Amino acid sequence: MKFAYWGGIKSGKFQLWQLFELNGKTTAVFPQAGKKWPAYVIIYRGGSVQLFYEENGEVKTKFTQPMGNDKEGQKHFQLCGAERHWTNDPKVFHNCFKFVFQQDIVMCPYMLFGYYGKLGTAEFNQMIERREPNMKVDLDYTISELKKRRNIIPYKSDKYYETWIFQKCDPNPDVCLERQKNSDRLRVLTQELLTEYDIPYETFDIDSDYSFFGLDKELPKEMIHQDQCLSFDLPSHEVIAERCRTILGLEEETQED
């Protein structure tokens, strides 16, 4: 079975990629940083890394070296080999999607629907909510292919730990909280998007067991937990707990609506 993983920022994508690598599976990763980076997709096949992108009105490809699974690799696995001069106004980029759908798992698949923007922002959420894609795609093809996969929408049941992770996004705690709010909202919007196109989906608790994916080899425990090395100090336990309560309050309001 093949997968599409609808995880936004801080959703365990790096760990899941490593799990699939460990089991000899292939991964397609779309970027999540928005139009400050070009439109591209990275294909990981063990020791092979291939990128597809658009330049001068054509889909092109290049191969590069993998960055490994250390801290630097974790930081750049969605950027590996990308070049800034590629276009961020794609016209034919969607023609490479047939190669994307050959892979065992597709991460950050929003470009498959034509949504090209920065995950974790209100602007990206608004694009999806209003059904206003900004990139040409073959929508019928995307829907048909996604229906053949297990579409996974991840979440974290441990909201304190999730809030702690998001507090590592930026030295400004307000920026961190806003990204967490937008990421929570994106989960709901993704469920609505897939439902609209009759694409079945499942939810996956990142705090549970990765046996959910049915792979033979387990991810080493040292790969599961987030790297705690930061260049700035995190807020106190009390502050993080208060921000966690804010997020939980927003989730309750959404459920009541």
Domain ranges of the chain: 3-158+190-226
What's the rounded mean pLDDT across residues 42-70? 88
Provide the token pair at 139: 């929508």
Long-range contacts at 222-230 (CB < 8 A, ≥ 24 apart): 223/15, 223/18, 223/69, 224/15, 226/165, 226/168, 227/71, 227/74, 229/71, 230/168
What is the pTM (predicted TM-score) of this model? 0.85
Q: Which of 7-11, 54-58, 118-122, 240-244 has the lowest mean pLDDT?
A: 240-244
Q: pLDDT, tens digit, for every residue of 20-45?
A: 999 999 999 999 888 999 999 999 99
Band (pLDDT 50/70/90 cuts) for residue 137 is very high
Given a cut of 90, is residue 177 above it in pLDDT? no
Mean pLDDT score across all residues of the chain: 86
